[in-house]
Amino acid sequence: MDLSRFPRAALARLPTPIEPLARLSAHLGGPRLWVKRDDLTGLGLGGNKLRKLEFLLGEARAQGADTVLTVGALQSNHARQTAAACARLGLDCELVLRQSSHASEAYLGNGNVLLDRLFGARLHLLQAEQSREEAMAARAGALRAAGRRPYCIPVGGSCGLGNLGYAACAGEILAQARELSLRFTAVVVATGSGGTQGGLLAGMARKRGMPVIGIAVEGTRAEQAALAVEQAAETLRLLGAESRPAVVAAEVLDDFVGPGYARPTGEMREALRLAARFEGLVLDPVYTGKAFAGLMALARSSRFTRDDALLFVHTGGQPGLFGYPEAV
């Protein structure tokens, strides 16, 4: 995939490794499980958003921006990676973060939010009912009026441009699978704002790659699938008309959300425990823990056999463990 016409900031350590989960696969007794270590993208403790930020901050720099704004939850991994990337690139960073009613000391001051401050970001804290997007637009207006050049990034970095990072990741996965002489039956990934799954779907669609199953961490199956398809379509539009297949459907499972976004579940706790004890692999309670619970349920189901291989994309988020220690 030729992405050379898009300005890009080198932020992520790529390609990330693909590793077997041999002991856990044997324990579960179903398909072989593998993990794509996008938690190891490096900068600022890593995670999936760096792939998106390479393109978003590439554009910000090309436009001569001096301040980058984005939005998220108080313990947003996306916000933390944006803050780290801005520090690396010498850009000012302002984060509009919404507090949930979840207000433990750790949630308010540890994990991602501790790192945001360490990276030198300026934080604007909102109450749950305020619109983050409106607050970000207002702050960008004020900065512009003061002669600054703000660049706004949507929630999760999910938009056609950001998702190019995951369209490229699809190509990376296909190349690594060839090298390993493996054919993954499906890719499994956490889905929230939809750009990671959407980008992967777009990249796979262009190469007749493998199915990408999203495990929702919020919303319903129908809402999250519509979001992923919309994100995939935006990505493909940006990639241009040449050989542009449509992504008409996205598979999303919503059985692992539990009572809501960032609210712990028993399956999530089991996933964290088994990944840690069988593989020394650290998941987070908000995204990868719930997604891995979905992966384990798929592995235990009759849908896949021992001849199948499933690839879990580990999207990072481990600082969240320290923001929600009681979830573990």
Ligand X SMILES: Cc1ncc(COP(=O)(O)O)c(C=O)c1O
Which parts of this chain interact with ligand X (CB under 6 A)? 47-48, 77-78, 156, 158, 190-197, 284, 287-288, 315-317
Q: What are the helix (H) ranges across the chain?
A: 22-28, 49-62, 77-89, 105-109, 111-118, 132-145, 160-179, 195-206, 221-239, 266-279, 288-300, 320-323
Name every residue whose Cβ is closer than 8 Å to that of residue 231 and which is 6 or more positions away in sequence.
Answer: 158, 159, 160, 163, 193, 194, 195, 197, 198, 199, 202
As measured in angstroms, the least distance from the Cβ of 85 to ligand X is 14
CA 211 → CA 2, 248, 278, 304, 321, distances in Å?
Answer: 22, 12, 27, 13, 30
Single-letter amino acid code for the residue at 241? A
The partner residues of 187 in beta bridges, in order of sequence, read 212, 311
Closest to ligand X by CB, 234 or 284: 284
Name every residue whose Cβ is closer than 8 Å to that of residue 309 and which is 6 or more positions away in sequence.
Answer: 31, 32, 33, 34, 182, 183, 184, 185
As measured in angstroms, the least distance from the Cβ of 158 to ligand X is 5
Radius of gyration of the chain measured on its C-alpha atoms: 19
d(CA 317, CA 136): 23
Name every residue whose Cβ is closer than 8 Å to that of residue 148 and which is 6 or more positions away in sequence.
Answer: 66, 67, 92
- Tell which phi-psi region holds residue 283, choosing left (phi > 0), alpha (psi between -120 and 50) or beta: beta
Closest to ligand X by CB, 30 or 264: 264
Q: Does 158 participate in catalysis according to the annotation?
A: no
Closest to ligand X by CB, 30 or 225: 225
Closest to ligand X by CB, 265 or 288: 288
Closest to ligand X by CB, 41 or 191: 191
Residue closest to ligand X when measured from CB atoms: 317
Q: Exactly one of 76, 158, 181, 243 is catalytic; which is it?
A: 76
As measured in angstroms, the least distance from the Cβ of 320 to ligand X is 7
As measured in angstroms, the least distance from the Cβ of 148 to ligand X is 26
Residue that has been written with the tokens 């060839």 in this structure: 178
Closest to ligand X by CB, 31 or 195: 195
As measured in angstroms, the least distance from the Cβ of 50 to ligand X is 11
Interhelix angle 77-89/49-62, rounded to 10 degrees, is: 40
Cβ-contact 290, 299 below 8 angstroms: no
As measured in angstroms, the least distance from the Cβ of 194 to ligand X is 5
Residue that has been written with the tokens 């950001």 in this structure: 162
Maximum Cα interatomic distance, the chain, rounded to a whole number of Å: 61
- Residues annotated as catalytic (active site), given as ranges: 76
